A = this chain, B = another copy of it.
Amino acid sequence: MVRTAENTTHSKPDTRYLIEFQPSGKTSHLRQGSLLQIANAAEVPIDAPCGGRETCGKCRIIVRLGADCLSKLKDSEMRFLSDTEIQAGYRLSCCASATSSGRVVLEVPSESQLGLQRLIVGGLEPGVIVSPSVHKFCMKVPIPSLEDLRADTERILETAKEQLSIRLDSIVFSALKALPLALRKDIWKVTVVENNGEVIAVEPGDSTSRFYGLAVDIGTTKLAAYLVDLNTGRSIATSSRVNPQTKHGSDVITRICYAMQEPSQLHELHRILIVAINAMSSEICRKTGLSVDDIYDVVVVGNTAMHHLFFDIQPESIGLSPYTAVAGGPLNVRSNDLGLHVNAGSYVHSPPNIAGFVGADTVADILATNIHQAEELTLLIDIGTNVEIVMGNRTGLQACSTPAGPALEGAEITFGMRAVEGAIESIWIDPKDMSVGYRTIGKDSLPKGICGSGIIDGISEMLKAGIIQASGEFKTDPAIPKLRSRSGITEFIIVERKLSAIDRDIAITQRDIRQIQLAKAAVYTAVLLSTRRLGVKPIDIKKVYVAGAFGTYINSQSARNIGMYPDIPLDRFRYVGNAAGARALLKSSTLRATARTIAQTIKYFPLGNEPDFQIQFLDALYIPHKDLELFPSVKRVLKLG
């Protein structure tokens, strides 16, 4: 719910005016109103937390064609955009309008796309050729006679070779048991599902049209499952839910401790995860009218701890120095052994883990972003309680990880909450009058608290408005309204009690800022030390992929302002689609070998072992950084230093 009035002036269509929005391809012939208003009318969602009041600077667009047809740059735009950005065609959509007829092409950069849309529109999925690990084919098998006394097994293996040149070596036990009936039910016409030379299912008649795989993303907090049509490669249904393990701890370490205490507790964490995944696959099958037997392949990705808990493997070593994984390489485990309700002959595949805190999910993200084939220096950053950093290009990749603590996910924050309905997800402060605007998740929800993206926005805006100093401390200027001290705790009020759903003022406290400083310093230090190991500087990073649902919701400008992201142009940022890597692994068998090679060749380095890690971390605690030369555009735009 946006607490600022939105100007909904409707202008008239005029075909001489043509505004095209990318990447959606939607067009408009409206000539009046701001580009933001025209975009809204054309149902192009642009993130404009202040509602077009020119105070938040977030509704950025890039003019790709027809700059001449638009109004001149306003002062507000100069305030929020760097020179480089202005040169690159950046505008604030609330400030710009069409002043003369012609064709204008506008790109809505990923940082300006609304959160929910990012997942769908901005979510990367590599253009893989559909060539799954499993194959399904139908054939007519010769009927036994006194002249042809072959056993059913030889009959089917040899027919596949003779008729289809498909080499089959063996038959999985469940398929073997189904074989005699399947062959005889439809006069020896039979459909065979093959995986790596092994027959994993045999069905009577021709059932080749029903051929699906399940991609499962096991987040510490959230689970997501995607049903992929293995004939076409298309994702056709999805389901998600909260990871039920959260009741035994919200973070990875708490769950590892829980699993360590008793083998039965490990099995319990495993079991409730399987139950939840089964519920998702049932839901998907209900929605699509399919049977779980139509799912012949499963790819699961998660961080190393989630991976181990999914497979019922004791994760203790991940939690103890030197933090090693039990299972490193890729796994192929029979779904039956895990109790997964999919086709009985199917296998569950997981790509390899890189280290105790750089898991199969990171490998999947590398595949989804193709950074192992990138020409340019690329950064992949997956933000959660734990942050994984991959940096490099086709000549080599390196990886490290750092605990960021739960602050970024809204925990340990005074009014912190998860990114659910009622959470303030975006904050802006008008530097002129220090008035605060915000937006909550859920259209008509009164605010209940602040989630991670909101708190990052809040700190960025407080820095910009001069409410806090580079050290993170509140200024002691008594003229700042809403800044107060209660019981020795200084805090800045975001929502007053009368407008909150919790009958209390919602504020950001000094302690909250400290928590975020610790988290953002961890992230930045990991990025900085990664560049240092490669002998480059942060500005040399030509592309940044932000993975994980949480990263997707963070405003990258705010994250850059507070010094969490390195100071590089915002158009270099991209978002990785949820479970995109897992879906790619379902669709392409060659990617599985690629994943293995990536995990074997990537250079993992323990961040804490870097010589001056502590010093670098302390410098990064400043907002944006002790060394402002590392953040030149932030310095300029925010008029710092």
Contact = CB atoms under 8 A, between A and B. Distances in A.
A173 B337 contact: yes
Contact of A606 (B149, B150, B327): B149
A146 B323 CA distance: 9
A356 B312 CA distance: 42
Interface string A152-175: 111001000000000000100100
Contacts of A604: 149
A157 B330 CA distance: 13
Nearest to A304: B151
A270 to B, nearest CB: 10
Given A334-B173, A337-B173, A606-B146, A151 B313 contact: no
A181 interface: yes
Contacts of A157: 329
Nearest to A337: B173
Interface residues of A, number: 43
Closest 10 CB pairs of A and B: A151-B328, A151-B325, A154-B328, A152-B326, A180-B326, A144-B324, A153-B328, A180-B314, A146-B322, A173-B333
B181 A324 contact: no
A177 B146 contact: no
A152 B327 CA distance: 6
Contacts of A154: 328-329
A324 B152 contact: yes
B609 A152 contact: no
- Copy number in the complex reads 2
Given A151-B324, A151-B329, A177-B311, 13 more contacts: A145-B322, A151-B353, A152-B317, A152-B326, A152-B327, A153-B329, A154-B329, A173-B337, A176-B327, A177-B312, A177-B314, A180-B316, A181-B314
A216 interface: no
A326 B149 contact: no
Contacts of A316: 180
A268 to B, nearest CB: 15
A317 B328 CA distance: 45
Contacts of A329: 151, 153-154, 157
A218 interface: no
Contacts of A149: 322-324, 355-356, 604, 606
Given A314-B180, A334-B173, A152 B328 contact: yes
Contacts of A153: 325-329
Contacts of A311: 173, 176-177
A170 B162 CA distance: 31
Interface string A303-321: 0000000011110110000
5 contacts: A149-B324, A150-B324, A150-B328, A152-B325, A177-B311
Interface in A468-503: none
Nearest to A315: B180
A564 interface: no
Contacts of A313: 176-177, 179-180
A183 B85 CA distance: 56
A29 to B, nearest CB: 59
Given A152-B327, A328-B154, A317 B180 contact: yes
A141 to B, nearest CB: 12
Contacts of A177: 311-314
A173 B170 CA distance: 19
A520 B334 CA distance: 50
Interface in A163-214: 170, 173, 176-177, 179-181, 184
A493 B332 CA distance: 69
Interface in A346-382: 353, 355-356
Contacts of A332: 170
Given A152-B317, A177-B313, A146 B609 contact: yes
A11 to B, nearest CB: 61
A531 to B, nearest CB: 22
A267 to B, nearest CB: 10
Contacts of A176: 311, 313, 326-327, 331
Interface string A238-282: 000000000000000000000000000000000000000000000
B151 A327 contact: yes
A557 B394 CA distance: 81
A638 to B, nearest CB: 39
Contacts of A322: 144-146, 149
Contacts of A355: 149, 151
